[in-house]
Chains A and B, each alone.
Chain A
Amino acid sequence: MNREETEMVSRCQQGDQEALKEIFEKYHKKVYSIAYGVVRQREEALDVVQEVFIKLFRSIKNFRGRSQFYTYLYRMVMNTAIDHKRKAGKQFMPSLDEEGSIQPSDDAEKGPERVLLQKELEERVKLAMDKLPAEQKAALIFRDVEGLSYQEMAEAMGCSIGTVMSRLHYGRKRMQESLKDYVKLPGQSRGVSTVSGR
Chain B
Amino acid sequence: MTNSCSSVSTVLEKYFDQEVTDEEKLLVEGHLEDCPACQDVLKSMEELRTLMKVPVAEAVQKEDFPWVWQKIEREIRLQEKQPWWQSLRSWLDVTPLFRRKVWIPAVATAVVLLLFSTQIIFEKTPSYPDGSVVEYVQSQTDNVMVYQLEDPKVTVIWLFESPEEERTTT
On A, residues with C-beta under 8 Å from B are 17, 20-21, 24, 28-29, 32-33, 36-37, 40, 42, 45-46, 49-50, 53-54, 57, 121-122, 125, 129, 140-141, 143-145, 149-150, 165, 168-169, 172, 175-176, 179, 182-187, 194, 196, 198
Sample of 13 A–B contacts (CB below 8 Å): A21-B69, A29-B65, A32-B60, A32-B65, A36-B60, A122-B55, A125-B51, A125-B52, A144-B53, A145-B52, A145-B53, A182-B51, A196-B50
Residue B79 at the chain A interface, CB threshold 8 Å: yes
CB <8 Å contact, A186 and B44: yes
Partner of B69, one of A24, A37, A175, A187: A24
- Chain A residues lying within 8 Å of B73, measured Cβ to Cβ, are 17, 21
Query: Which residues on the A side are within 8 Å of B40 (C-beta)?
Result: 184, 186-187
Q: How large is the interface on B (under 10, 10 to 19, 20 to 34, 35 or more residues)?
A: 35 or more
> Once the chains bind, are A186 and B37 in contact (CB under 8 Å)?
yes
Q: Which of B13-21, B82-90, B95-103, B143-151 contacts A (4 or more CB under 8 A)?
A: B13-21
- Pairwise interchain contact B56-A150, C-beta atoms closer than 8 A: no
> Within the complex, which residue of B53, B60, B79 is in contact with A29, where a contact is CB–CB below 8 Å?
B60
| Residues of chain B within 8 A of A185, CB atoms compared | 44
Residues of B within 8 A of A36 (CB): 56, 59-60
CB distance from A59 to the nearest CB of B (A): 13
Q: Using Cβ atoms and an 8 Å threshold, which residues of chain B touch A33?
A: 56-57, 59-60
Q: Determine if A172 and B76 form an interchain contact, defined as CB atoms under 8 angstroms apart.
A: no
By the criterion CB–CB under 8 Å, are B76 and A57 in contact?
yes
Residues on A with beta carbons closer than 8 Å to the beta carbon of B52: 37, 125, 129, 140-141, 144-145, 175
**Set of chain A residues within 8 Å of B43, measured between Cβ atoms:** 184
Task: For residue A168, give the distance in angstroms from its CB to the closest CB of chain B.
Answer: 7
Give the residues in chain B near A172, CB-CB below 8 Å. 13, 45, 48
Partner of A150 from the list B19, B44, B59, B76 (CB cut-off 8 Å) is B19
Q: How far is the CB of B4 from chain A (nearest CB, A)?
A: 15
B167 close to chain A: CB less than 8 A: no
Which of B17, B19, B43, B50 has the largest count of A CB atoms less than 10 A from its CB? B17
> Do A168 and B71 have beta carbons less than 8 Å apart?
no
Contact B17 A54 (CB under 8 A): no
Within 8 Å CB of A40, what residues of B?
55
CB of B110 closer than 8 Å to a CB of A: no
In the complex, chain A residues whose CB is within 8 Å of the CB of B45: 172
CA of A194 to CA of B47, assembled, Å: 9
- Asked if B94 is at the interface of the complex by the 8 Å CB criterion, the answer is no
Contact status A54-B76, CB under 8 Å:
yes
